[in-house]
Amino acid sequence: MTLTDLKGIGPKTEKLFNKLGIFTVKDLLYYFPHTYLCYRKPSPIGSLTEGETGAVKGMLEKDASIINLHGLRMTTAYIRDLSGKMRLTWFNAPFLKNTLRAGSAFVFFGKVGDYKGQKTLNQPKIFSVDEYSKKEDTLEPVYGQTKGLSNSLIQKAIKQAMEVSEAQKDFIPGNILYNRELMSMNEAIGHIHFPVNMEDYKKARERHAYNELFLFSMALVKKKQNTDEKKSGYILKRDERIDSFITGLPFKLTDGQAAAVEDIRTDLSSGFIMNRLLQGDVGSGKTIVSFIAALETAFNGHQAAIMAPTEILASQHYEKLKKIVSDNAYDLKIVLVTGSLKASEKKAVYKEIESHEADIIIGTHALFQDNVIYDDLALVVTDEQHRFGVNQRKTLGEKGHSPHTLVMSATPIPRTLAMLLYADMKVSLIKGLPSNRLPIKNAVVNESYREKSYKFIYDEIKKGRQAYIICPMVEENDMLDLENVTDYLLKIRKVFPSDVRIEKLHGKMKPKEKDEIMNRFLHKEIDILVSTTVVEVGVDVPNSTVMMVENAERFGLAQLHQLRGRVGRSGHQSYCIFVDSSNSDKSKERLHILATSNDGFHIAEEDLKLRGPGDIFGIRQSGALDFTIADIYQDKELLRKASEDALYVLRSDPELNNEDHHDLKERLNRYLEESCIL
């Protein structure tokens, strides 16, 4: 059965689904919602506050009327209940006039706004009272969309897919499902798409999260079974060029950096395989430490690879290291490997890697594709380790002969988790930031502060600085009222004087375009970059001093902290403006944590306390590990259970030869093939 066998999907629509990564009916089942709209009981008008999404029930006082506003036809109506009055408006929907008659009662659902001191709903959805009472307390799934493929079309396709699909295999042993009171896989798929209520959603989500955490734990247990210190074939000598390189740097290494460098050089020369985690907050200067490790490896005549999670970051590292090599006239060749190289370019680079012409190889996970063959790989560095999806982490050890590994991460995670995840690693911690830094000044504001923010940004630009503005979406989404990069760019180009150069950046752009924009931003040919969170990790443009985040309420705190790390990277005073469009107290409280602290560890801990387990609208954190559903903050307890279960299963049946473990064995092998645990 193919997609086009489903009702309503022809070849054209199929292409759109393909764009979302959906190629088969089964893919549809696993295309989980981003978020849900929650149809709460209608509230009295008086109790609704601006920014809140909710429902009101009321009788129309008069027929709806149509007025002309800036050339647009706007339908307006009013409802009233004992607690207050509310204005309702719709653009370009004159036909509503026939429905919205005096004396008729409806339920209106939407986001509460303010129009000249009067409560309003803009573009609310309209339900008959009966219809709504059926929907009450249900959740409607909201999917990632693309132009031409609406949420309701996706919903319909998924409903059909569920009807025509066979039962999904359950690889978790039955006794675990029973003991942990987990839903079956079939139920969990049905209910993650169309939960009956919030409780139901949580159970479904828990099951999917458990899947990920259990497989992850199984792999971890397996890995730990063979990670005693192993002898290394690469015993590196301390090269004195490294010492003079460090003395020649334009800055002095911080104590933390110097200690980390020392740890690493000791490991590399020890005769045992290095397996080290370098942890340090955003901006603490991890990159230079990894460059030193790579240079030492290369000076010893071996190859080193540095892997970054995005092409933008990989090419930034490449440019930096190339400059270091040429400034110091080192006889080393640095190459860049990313997925977007042309076939001919790839061939050429692969040849350089195989013949050992290339000494240091920088790239995305494309570095570890099968056809990249290393002559003599002695060190693998993974930057922003937590960003590599469990499924993306290719087995690095397979390349070369058990190279030394260094992983770097800024993600501060609670101690208990760290012990579980990094039990087999040694840790170097960089505390504190370079001494030339001024603490970032933060502000949490509402939308009414935008004009002022623009003025502020303009003042910084006049001083020669640059700014980022972050929006959560790439394009408009008919279900979510969120800022998107595409429209925002057009909007603010009109706000700023025409000599201010504003461009956009997002993940759907071609890699070459992204590179070009990033380079122009780095070289100060762009003043304001309107971007999605693609710049979240690692990007280093020290001249930028303002970070403005739209819909800040939509992001996890750790993610906002990472984003904020894009500024405050030089001696200039930097600023971060979080625009909170929600107006909810909870969100204010959350963002306040950010505004009052620049310390990533503190933020992670506070965030965890506030969010509590099962917080569905907590918006998935860019967690310490990029699971699809699980979040190791939120699912700390579930992870504990999963790792207990994994240990139990592997102790009782190490090779998984037991009948009950047949499907599990198959699934785990696939998982181990696809992923590399840390």
Task: Give contact residues for ligand ADP (rule: CB under 6 A).
Answer: 251, 253-254, 257, 280, 282-288, 410, 434, 436, 538, 540, 542, 565, 569
CB neighbours (10 Å) of residue 446? 14
Which lies closer to ligand ADP via its Cβ, residue 306 or residue 668?
A: 306
Nearer to ligand ADP, 317 or 514 (CB): 317
Q: Which does 280 bind (CB under 5 to 8 A by kind): ligand ADP, Mg ion, none?
A: ligand ADP
Q: Which is nearer to Mg ion, 408 or 485 (CB)?
A: 408
HSE (CB half, 13 Å, CA atoms) of 6? 25
Q: Count CB-CB contacts under 10 A for residue 131.
A: 11
Yes or no: say if 493 and 502 are a contact pair by the CB < 8 Å rule: yes
Compare residues 253 and 471 and give the one whose CB is closer to ligand ADP: 253
Segment interacting with Mg ion, rule: CB under 5 A, options 24-32, 246-254, 534-542, 614-622? 534-542
Phi, psi angle pair for 142, to nearest 5°? -120, 120
The one segment of 21-29, 127-135, 536-544, 569-577 that binds Mg ion by CB under 5 A: 536-544
* Measured distance CA(11)–CA(3) in Å, rounded: 9
| Spatial strand order in the sheet of 441-445 | 441-445, 575-579, 544-549, 466-470, 528-531, 502-505
Q: Which of Mg ion, ligand ADP, none does 389 bind, CB closer than 5 to 8 A by kind?
A: none
Token readout for 267 is 């490991």
- Residue 283 beta carbon to ligand ADP: minimum distance, rounded to whole angstroms: 5
The span from the CA of 30 to the CA of 21, in Å, is: 11
Provide the residue type at 240 as one letter: E
Determine if 54 is a binding residue for Mg ion (CB under 5 A).
no
Please report how close the Cβ of residue 406 comes to Mg ion at its closest, in angstroms.
13
The helix/strand count (H/E) of the chain reads as 21, 22
Place of tokens 């939308």: 447
Instruction: Report if residue 538 touches Mg ion, rule: CB under 5 A.
Output: yes
Indicate which of ligand ADP, Mg ion, none lies near residue 409 (CB less than 5 to 8 Å, by partner kind).
none
Residue nearest Mg ion by beta-carbon distance: 538
Rule CB under 5 A: say whether 283 interacts with Mg ion: no
Mode of pairing for the β-strands spanning 544-549 and 575-579: parallel
Nearest distance in Å: CB 288, ligand ADP: 5
We find the least distance from the C-beta atom of residue 247 to ligand ADP, in angstroms, to be 13
Cα 59 from Cα 129, distance rounded (Å): 10
Determine the angle formed by the axes of helices 662-674 and 198-225, rounding to 10 degrees.
70
- The CB-of-410 to ligand ADP minimum distance in angstroms stands at 6
CA-based max dimension of the chain = 88
* Only segment of 68-76, 109-117, 445-453, 531-539 that touches Mg ion (CB under 5 A): 531-539
In the complex with ligand ADP, which residue's Cβ is closer, 286 or 554?
Answer: 286
Q: CA-CA distance, 274 to 253, in Å (whole number)?
A: 22
The minimum distance between CB 345 and ligand ADP, in angstroms, equals 27
Q: What are the tokens at 470?
A: 């972050």
The item of ligand ADP, Mg ion, none sharing an interface with residue 533, based on CB under 5 to 8 Å by kind, is: none
Q: Which is nearer to ligand ADP, 258 or 495 (CB)?
A: 258
In order of 71, 119, 630, 634, 636, the CA distances from 613 in angstroms are 48, 34, 11, 5, 8
Nearer of residues 558 and 664 to ligand ADP, judged by Cβ: 558
| Closer to ligand ADP by Cβ: residue 288 or 479 | 288
Binding site for Mg ion (CB under 5 A): 538
